[in-house]
Amino acid sequence: MPNVSLRDLTETDRERLHVWRNSPDVAAYMYTDHEISRTEHDLWFDGLAGNPRRRYWMIELDGQPVGLANLADIDLRNRRCAWAYYLADPSVRGLGVGSYIEFWMIEHVFGTLGLNKLCCEVLAANRPVWQLHLTYGFEREALYRQHILKAGQYEDVIGLGLLARDWPALKPAMLARLRAKGFSVT
């Protein structure tokens, strides 16, 4: 059974995240894919602490760091936020870890944080990922045309959203899906 957990970032993650974010296996799916300098990375990393609009977690598989998950634009006035994640090493993709994180994040945002809406944006070309969000009950809310200029090409972006009111009806099927992938979830 895959043992997936999320923990807060620590100083020991600084270097690892710099390497991951610059790797082609991650940068390809992000909005920016220029080589991030150590100075730029340090500015970003140092800015995470004490930013109430953002939260970051290290994703671990069997105790080993494998990826990053985050909340952004946490908006307590409108009770919504956005999220994103990646698994750095392609060899740990396709094992169900992403599905588990998706479930965990939805539960965290609606349960622990008590927010009303969870949003995300995905490059339209990254079809498996926006498809994965749809499977978990997100609805496609927007097509932002030529929204991102990446490697000299304009890329479309798909905006998705999930409402807290819809989650209870969706959750049993998602739990069943995770159990079928070998996770012990309640």
Ligand X SMILES: CC(C)(COP(=O)(O)OP(=O)(O)OC[C@H]1O[C@@H](n2cnc3c(N)ncnc32)[C@H](O)[C@@H]1OP(=O)(O)O)[C@@H](O)C(=O)NCCC(=O)NCCS
Question: Considering only residues 45, 57, 86, 110, which one is a binding residue for ligand X as defined by CB under 6 A?
Answer: 86
Return the structure tokens found at 94: 């396709």
As measured in angstroms, the least distance from the Cβ of 70 to ligand X is: 10
Question: Considering only residues 20, 45, 57, 85, which one is a binding residue for ligand X as defined by CB under 6 A?
Answer: 85
As measured in angstroms, the least distance from the Cβ of 65 to ligand X is: 13
Helix intervals (H) in the chain: 13-22, 24-27, 38-48, 97-107, 127-135, 167-180
Question: Considering only residues 47, 111, 114, 128, which one is a binding residue for ligand X as defined by CB under 6 A?
Answer: 128
As measured in angstroms, the least distance from the Cβ of 37 to ligand X is: 22
How many helices (H) and strands (E) the chain has is answered by 6, 7
Buried b (16+ CB within 10 A) or exposed e, 52-81: eebbbbbbbbeeebbbbbbbbebeeeeebb
Question: Considering only residues 45, 57, 99, 104, which one is a binding residue for ligand X as defined by CB under 6 A?
Answer: 99
Is residue 87 close enough to count as binding ligand X by CB under 6 A?
yes
Q: Quick one: 76 or 176, whose CB is closer to ligand X?
A: 176
| # binding residues, ligand X (CB under 6 A) | 17
Is residue 84 close enough to count as binding ligand X by CB under 6 A?
yes
Give how far the C-alpha of residue 127 lies from the chain's centroid of Cα atoms, to the nearest Å: 15
Q: Quick one: 138 or 167, whose CB is closer to ligand X?
A: 138
Sequence-distant (6+) residues with CB within 8 A of 30 are 21, 86
Interatomic CA distance for residues 21 and 29, integer angstroms: 10
Q: Quick one: 76 or 143, whose CB is closer to ligand X?
A: 143
Q: For binding to ligand X (CB under 6 A), which residues are involved? A: 29, 84-87, 93-99, 122, 126, 128-129, 132
